[in-house]
């Protein structure tokens, strides 16, 4: 798109954009600004960070963003419905839409709370494996896949590559395993990374196999995920690739700027990371397919728009209290992710709601390749049919704000400039803009296991990598509840138990292996 075909960058345009940005500022803009400053200027003092950010923000508002707005526009109004949900939800208001007088069962074997990526996967595996006498009920406070499952990037990621997991786990081990030497802590972090990577590889393969075996219509394609790296990140990229090779977890590699261009259409100056086995899909369709297939069996029921208020331990059973009544159950599976601290206060500061946001609409750079995950240094991009998606942010929000749609309009404008920098100018109209909350644990490592030493399970804390854990994690939890030991369990308690967060001193940590 040539500059000659664009409207001029006039003083009036600059002023109009500046005023629009200033009047759109909300509380989350300032929280997101803190995140941006910490990520962009990590070595500077707080006052220096603030001054640098103010200078950057003024340049954005006066020059960079107005320039991008010459070929970008916002629809009037912009919808807050995520792109994955804008065509409707086939399981909306289930079963009440067709059976207004439906009642919750009084007694079941298992209740799963939350029908996103994890909860729908639990329902699917239960429907395939449970005997007729063992009933599962899947509850959701809204409709299936309307939480983070319907507000994400749409990637079946392999999760955090081996080196990244090491880096997030190691600081936590410094805090809770001070009895170990630094070398032993590093070795234990490597073991955590190895178990995570192994489980994620199996998860990715299981997702692909299930899509094909079940003939699920969820736009699945396995084309990988490219993650740009700046000049000052090249040493770290090389180290991470070398460590992946040495450990045998070779999904992660480095590719040249020319290869990045070929695979994605994105222009970069330096080598990028490439997750070979990652895939793209329609996350909401995936969830609906799983839950729908589970409900085809007599062992699975689903009740939407049924908020869980409380869970009481009644000895040999649990009483799940909802706004529609009580259910007595032998087992409970929490798939509530960022909502968990509201239901289980003991997880405050252990499962941390973290907001991300995205926007989409028709147009955008025609050079952008579909089906491949694309991440710039500060944003992600995606091509879905004639729609272009842009997104970013990873800012913690209070527990009570889990699930709220409150994107920063300033950040959306900034993402438009990042899109232009990565792909060039192209007409683009933003029609949908939303946010979602994923959950981070202190070590950014998921929790898969029993909470209370009895029969209350959790599958969460997936740090924005829910598609890397949820399907395989659900398989393992269902197998444990049903007593099925015929399949490999990829989530041993020593690594994944929530007790490593709830009670680090009482947790049974893995034995240290000899370094290889």
CA count, 13 A, side-chain hemisphere, 373:
27
| pLDDT at position 2 | 60
| pLDDT at position 157 | 84
Range name among 5-9, 123-127, 420-424 with the lowest pLDDT average: 5-9
Token pair 């749409």: residue: 154
100-110 mean pLDDT:
97
pLDDT band at 4 (very low <50, low <70, confident <90, very high): low
**What are the two backbone dihedrals, phi and then psi, of residue 133, each rounded to the nearest 5 degrees?**
-80, -5
Assess whether pLDDT exceeds 90 at residue 490. yes
Domains located in the chain, CATH noted: 3-87+352-440 (3.30.9), 103-218+278-351+441-510 (3.50.50.60)
Assess whether pLDDT exceeds 90 at residue 3. no
pLDDT band at 7 (very low <50, low <70, confident <90, very high): confident
Q: Token pair for residue 1? A: 């798109």
Q: Where are the beta strands (DSSP E) in 163-231?
A: 225-227
CA-based radius of gyration for the chain: 23
| pLDDT at position 505 | 95
Question: Within 10 Å of residue 39's Cβ, how many Cβ atoms?
Answer: 11
Average predicted confidence (pLDDT) for the chain: 95
Q: Give SS3 for 430.
A: strand
Q: What is the pLDDT of residues 183-213, one digit of tens each?
A: 999 999 999 999 999 999 999 999 999 999 9
Helices (H), 361-445: 409-423
Separation between Cα atoms, residue 362 and residue 98, nearest integer Å: 35
312-336 mean pLDDT:
97
377-398 mean pLDDT:
94
Assess whether pLDDT exceeds 70 at residue 516. no
Assess whether pLDDT exceeds 90 at residue 475. yes
| pLDDT at position 227 | 96
Token pair 């994690």: residue: 473
Q: Rounded to the nearest 5 degrees, what angle is found at the Cα of 320, between the Cα atoms of 307 and 472?
A: 80
pLDDT band at 158 (very low <50, low <70, confident <90, very high): confident
| pLDDT at position 20 | 92
**Neighbouring-strand partners of residue 280:** 155, 221
Of 515, 134, 84, nearest to 123 by C-alpha is: 134
Assess whether pLDDT exceeds 90 at residue 480. yes
Q: Token pair for residue 509? A: 């940590």
| pLDDT at position 190 | 96
Q: How many residues does the chain have?
A: 516
Distances (CA, A) of 292 to 124, 300, 337: 8, 10, 21
400-415 mean pLDDT:
96
| pLDDT at position 5 | 75
Q: Rounded to the nearest 5 degrees, what angle is found at the Cα of 279, between the Cα atoms of 276 and 283?
A: 155
Q: 148 near 353, Cβ under 8 Å?
A: no
Q: 160 near 463, Cβ under 8 Å?
A: yes
* Pairing between β-strand 318-322 and β-strand 308-313 as defined by DSSP bridges: antiparallel
163-170 mean pLDDT:
95
Q: Token pair for residue 421? A: 């920098």
Q: 77 near 70, Cβ under 8 Å?
A: no
Q: What is the pLDDT of residues 110-154, one digit of tens each?
A: 999 999 999 999 999 999 999 999 999 999 999 999 999 999 999
Q: 473 near 461, Cβ under 8 Å?
A: no
* Pairing between β-strand 318-322 and β-strand 325-334 as defined by DSSP bridges: antiparallel
| pLDDT at position 73 | 95
Distances (CA, A) of 247 to 137, 191, 376, 515: 41, 10, 27, 11
**C-alpha 429: how far from its chain's center?**
25
Q: Give SS3 for 414.
A: helix
| pLDDT at position 33 | 94
**C-alpha 228: how far from its chain's center?**
19
Separation between Cα atoms, residue 445 and residue 182, nearest integer Å: 20
């Amino acid at each position: 798109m040539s500059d000659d075909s664009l409207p001029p960058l006039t003083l009036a345009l600059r002023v109009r954009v500046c005023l629009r940005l200033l009047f759109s500022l909300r509380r989350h803009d300032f929280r997101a600004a803190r995140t941006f400053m910490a990520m962009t200027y990590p070595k500077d003092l707080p006052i220096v960070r603030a001054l640098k950010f103010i200078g950057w923000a003024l340049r954005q508002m006066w020059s960079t963003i107005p320039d991008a707005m010459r070929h970008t526009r916002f629809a009037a109004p912009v919808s807050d419905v995520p792109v994955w949900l804008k065509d409707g939800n086939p399981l909306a208001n289930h079963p009440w839409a067709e059976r207004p007088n439906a009642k919750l069962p009084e007694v079941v074997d298992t209740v799963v709370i939350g029908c996103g990526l994890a909860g729908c996967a639990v329902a699917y595996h239960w429907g395939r494996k449970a005997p007729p006498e063992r009933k599962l009920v899947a509850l959701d406070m809204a409709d299936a896949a309307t939480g983070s499952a319907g507000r994400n990037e749409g990637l079946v990621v392999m999760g955090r590559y081996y080196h990244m997991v090491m880096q997030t786990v190691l600081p936590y081990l410094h805090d809770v395993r001070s009895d170990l030497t630094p070398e032993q802590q590093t070795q234990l972090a490597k073991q955590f990374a190895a178990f995570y990577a192994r489980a994620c590889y199996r998860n990715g393969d299981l997702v692909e196999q299930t899509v094909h075996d079940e003939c699920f219509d969820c736009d699945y394609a396995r084309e990988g995920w490219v993650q740009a790296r700046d000049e000052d990140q090249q040493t770290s990229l090389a180290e991470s690739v070398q460590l992946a090779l040495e450990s045998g977890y070779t999904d992660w590699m480095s590719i040249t700027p020319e290869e990045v261009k070929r695979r994605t259409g994105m222009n970069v100056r330096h080598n990028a990371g490439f997750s070979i086995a990652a895939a793209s899909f329609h996350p909401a369709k995936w969830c609906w397919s799983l839950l729908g297939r589970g409900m085809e069996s007599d062992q699975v029921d689903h009740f939407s728009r049924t908020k869980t208020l409380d869970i009481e331990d009644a000895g040999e059973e649990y009483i799940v209290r909802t706004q529609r009544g009580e259910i007595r159950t032998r087992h409970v599976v929490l798939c509530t992710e960022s909502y968990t601290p509201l239901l289980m206060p003991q997880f405050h500061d252990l499962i941390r709601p973290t907001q991300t946001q995205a926007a989409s609409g028709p147009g955008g750079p025609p050079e952008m390749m579909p089906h491949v995950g694309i991440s710039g240094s500060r944003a992600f991009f995606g091509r879905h049919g004639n729609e272009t998606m842009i997104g970013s942010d990873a800012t913690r929000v209070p527990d009570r704000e889990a699930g709220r749609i409150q994107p920063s309009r300033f950040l959306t404008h900034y993402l438009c400039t990042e899109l232009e920098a990565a792909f060039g100018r192209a007409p683009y109209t933003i029609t949908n803009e939303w946010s979602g909350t994923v959950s981070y644990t202190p070590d950014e490592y998921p929790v898969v296991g029993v909470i209370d030493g009895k029969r209350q399970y959790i599958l969460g804390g997936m740090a924005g990598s829910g598609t890397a854990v949820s399907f395989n994690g659900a398989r393992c939890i269902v197998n444990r509840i049903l007593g099925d030991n015929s399949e490999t369990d990829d989530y041993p308690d020593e690594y994944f138990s929530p007790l490593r967060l709830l009670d680090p001193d009482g947790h049974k940590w893995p034995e240290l292996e000899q370094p290889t």
